Structure 1
Amino acid sequence: MKRSPIRVDAVLVQAVIAGALSFAHLHDLAAAAGQTGWKAWAYPVSVDLLLVAAWHRLRTLRAAGASARSAWSWFTVALAASLGANVATAGLLDLGDVPDWLRILVAGWPALAFLGGTLLVHTPAPAEQPSTDADTGAAEPAPVEAVIEREDVASLEPEPVPALPAFEPEPTPAPDPAPDPTVVTVPPALVAHARKVADDHHARTGSPIDTDTLRARLGVPPVMADAIAAQLA
């Protein structure tokens, strides 16, 4: 047997019953205070709308972390009007002979409800706070700037390597005999740099640097490496 997808919510049913009873009590009190016809039906609508508007505004202000005193005040006024009507129609007052002060309250309610609704609707909303690290409770650490002296900066800079001359051998159909190393022109700066490399190699290994190692350290063609080695000898 297929069950119906509609389920009765006890809380919703209770809310409907309570709302209907309160609505009827407000209507009876307004009618007894001289508000006949459609006006007696408008009073419970006005009270309930003000109650709902104040509750909605109250939740909005509390979620934004702003003061909700005004919303609480109008919520209390609407709740007092609803509870007062429920208590008054329970036999405490003679609805056939309503006192003058109650007639004054009922007659002045529309202006009071209009004022409360206007203030609740047109009160400016609180400005949104910029996103910070307040959720985590930790403040962002201040950036630390490293102070470096001029001498330290100079020591950190690498020694400039002299630019190597462009060397593009032209292809020939047959291999030429090995050229004379003394014919190749080597810049003096490159020779000085190669001498430092050779001295460093000799200090670390105790033996003179060979041509292949010198060529690999300098990154030059074999012909230029032979020319440099010939000038270092």
Structure 2
Amino acid sequence: MRAWRAAVGAMFFALLAGCGSNDLVVKKQMEMEAKLEQLAQANASANTRLTTLTTEVKELQNRLTATAADMDAMKPGMAELKASIESIDAMVTDLNRPKTSKIEVVNREAAAAEGNPAHQDAYVKAFGLFSANNYNAAIDAFEAFMKAYPDSEYVGNAMYWVGECYYTQHNYNEALEAFSKVTTTFPNGNKVPDAMLKIGYTLMGMNEPAKAKESLQALVEKYPKSQAAAKAREKLVRLSK
């Protein structure tokens, strides 16, 4: 009897021990499943973040590509704007010269043409139209002046201002032709250095930097002491950078 009770007791404790062991296994399994779930969630979150980052990188690359394209598209306009600014600067400098301002030019011509009021009036009228930014009318007036008074010492000046009218309107082909005529048809005129300078500027506006440099260098060599040559040197330095 005592032996039977001892056997039953042993079985009972064995069962208890087995139950405790099963509970521990179940607990460990649950903990493992929880960790696996956490890892799965973390992995899903990482994948989502990676996808988001990949999308953001692609968008950034697209923006950079678009920005680069925009900059390339802007280059011709920027070159044209820069040439226009330099043209305005050249005109302002010319106007502010003590001995070569518009008023003094007109006055000198008036003194030289005292015996011919029509000669004076024609040039003054053309110059007034240019000063008023009425460039098309100024071109017609200067050309009429050159046709009516081909022997005037200011015919070369008139041709130069025709070139300025075209240049200001970004009509570079016509401007180049007019400035070139100043240097070839009136080689001894006082506007030749300025015309050579504007030929260089015009060629820059036409995206021909090599020819522009050649023209500016020729100006520096032929008229080294002129104000136009000083501007040409500054431009050549900038073009060399």
Global fold match (TM > 0.5): no
Q: TM-score, normalised by structure 1?
A: 0.23
Q: TM-score, normalised by structure 2?
A: 0.22
Task: Identify which of structures 1 and 2 has the higher relative contact order when contacts are C-alpha pairs closer than 8 Å and 6+ apart.
Answer: 1
Greater helix percent: which structure? 2
